[in-house]
Every structure is written in C-alpha cells, then in structure tokens.
Structure 1
Amino acid sequence: MSKSSQTYYPPSGFYFRVQFADSGGAATSTAKIDLAFQDASGLTVEMEPETVAEGGLNTYRHRLPVAAKYADLVLKRGFVITASPLFQWCQQTLQDGLAKPIQVRNLALQLLGPSPSDEGTAKILRQWCFYGAWPTKWSLSEFDARKNEVLVETLQFAFRYFDRN
C-alpha cells in the first residue's frame, strides 16, 4: 500500500514535555522533573481589528489590523516537593519583584509521539517555542481533607511571542 493511501490519524494531545530553549528555539536539557506537566494551555494568538471612521463616509467603518496579542502560557502538574531549576527561576522572579531585572527565558513545548524504533525514546512531532518568557503567577490547588485529589501546581508565563518549528 502506498503512503498516500494510508489513513491519517492526528497526534494525541496528552504526550508532551516542556523544556528551556536557547535563543534559536532548540530545547536544552533540564531536570527530568521539570519536563512533565499534566496540562498546557495558552497557545493562542489573535489579531484584533481597530475600527476607524472615515470623515464623509458614513455607510461603514474601516477595520484595520493591529499587533498580534498572545494569551499567557499556563502549565499544570502535580506538586513537586524537590527543588528544580524551573521552580527556582519562578520563585526568584516572583519573590524579587522588580528589585532585580527579570531574567527572561525561552521555553519549548514539544508534542511527542512514539519512537519509530524500539528504543523507547519519544519522537518530537512538533515544537512551539515561547520567546522572552517570564513567570507571572504561581499557585497551588486548594487543600481539602474531604477530597482525595492530587495537589496541583500551576505556573503561568507571559512571553513576547511564540512560533512553531
């Protein structure tokens, strides 16, 4: 059977990891504990139009494009009790406030698929790089003795822009 006649199956959205990235967007190694998240959201970009009225032309208004607007990247995972490079960076940025310059980092979100061989390693299907990211929020889910739920840590990042490579 030829490759063109095979059925296409979209990749699943549950197999991904997050890593620090260099200036070119290539992922760099971090602690394994920093790679695993249960949820990633915020891959949204939109261009809102600006409405401009033209003098003498009252039948309609011109809609002109303005700069792109990006949503924050939100990552969720089970609470990690050990120190990690990602948490240390977030803690330093959020606790120092503006007393020191904010250290921005590039983050790579990688969609993974099964390896074509039997080595057990993941194959990167697609990667999104978030340039100039910095943490804006850290939170924990609520403590409730009546529920049997995992404690979830949420990290939120602002960034300049993202691209898919």
Structure 2
Amino acid sequence: MATDSNNAAGATWPMPKFRFEVDFGTELKGIIFQEISGMDVEAQIIEYRKTDNPVFSTEKMPGITKHGNITMKKGMFANDNNFWDWYQQITMNSIQRRTVVIRLLDEQGNATMQWQLDNAWPTKTSSTDLGSEGNEVAVESLEVAYETLVITAGK
C-alpha cells in the first residue's frame, strides 16, 4: 500500500473505473454509458539516417500525433434518437463538431479524472442486435473521431 502525505487516511488507492459520465456540451449532459473504449493517443515515429552517422542504423524521432476513435456503448431508451440525430447532420465535408468531456467519478460523484475531446464528431453509430431467445438489454454504440485530447485531474 502506497502512502501519500496529502491524504488524511494515509493510503492511496487506484481509482475504480466503473463510475463515469459523458457530457456532449449540448442537451446531452451527464449521460451514463456502459462502456467507453479507445482513448488512445500515440506519436508516430519518423525514422531517418543522418548522412554523417558512422553507425549503419536509423534514428527515431517523434512525428505527428495520432488519436484513435472512441467507442461508447449505452442502453437504448424509448424515443431517444440523440446519437442518430447527431450522425444524420453529416453532409459533404460538414458536421457539427462538439467538445465531448468524459469524467471518471469517485464514490461521492465528484470528477477525479477528465478526458476532453476537442472537435469531436460521430463516425459510426450501431443499433443493438435483435434476438427473440435472449433477455439482454438493448445496447447502442457511437464511435467518435476527435482532433485533440486533453487529460486533466477532476474539476
């Protein structure tokens, strides 16, 4: 167990990942999702060889930052077409971009970590699969592309 002088109890624990909410910056605030995945960011690698380098190998340096798409899954509710409506706004080279904020919450509902996706827009929406033999909840998914990711402590 790690200790932290700023913590009154003297113990620091990893944050649980099961309580989170998403804010789409419009009428869609505080949406609870079942699962969020794909919060990836990576620096592409540029390899080159200096002409005066006596070693026969390349040097590596960071290149353009690449962000993965984020996939969000949630239960479907009657008369809730918000994701489909947002997706339907896509026209040739035009879409309403939004700032999407994902907040990881503690036991009291306070944000402990925050991921801000700037200039986000839907690239894919999927409805649930249907089957008369099961009793599962209907789940819809939304895939979102974005341009920049800002990670901060909770606010």
Alpha-carbon distance in 2 for matches of 1:103, 1:41: 22
Residue from 39, 47, 72 that aligns with 2:35: 39
Aligned pairs (5 A) from 1:105-124: 105-115=98-108, 122-124=109-111
Whichever structure has more helix as a proportion of its residues is 1
TM-score for the superposition, normalised by structure 2: 0.81
Alpha-carbon distance in 1 for matches of 2:23, 2:76: 17
Alpha-carbon distance in 1 for matches of 2:42, 2:122: 21
| Cα distance change, pair 6–52 in 1 and its aligned pair in 2 (3 A) | same
> Deviation at 1:86?
4.5
Identity %: 28
Contact between 2:125 and 2:143, CA under 8 Å: does it hold in 1? yes
Aligned CA RMSD, in angstroms, stands at 2.3
Q: Which runs of 5+ in 1 are unaligned?
A: 22-27, 116-121
TM-score for the superposition, normalised by structure 1: 0.77
Q: Which runs of 5+ in 2 are unaligned?
A: none
Contact between 2:89 and 2:96, CA under 8 Å: does it hold in 1? no
Q: Is the aligned partner of 1:143 residue 2:143?
A: no
Residue from 149, 152, 157 that aligns with 2:139: 152
Write the letter of the residue equivalent to 2:47. T
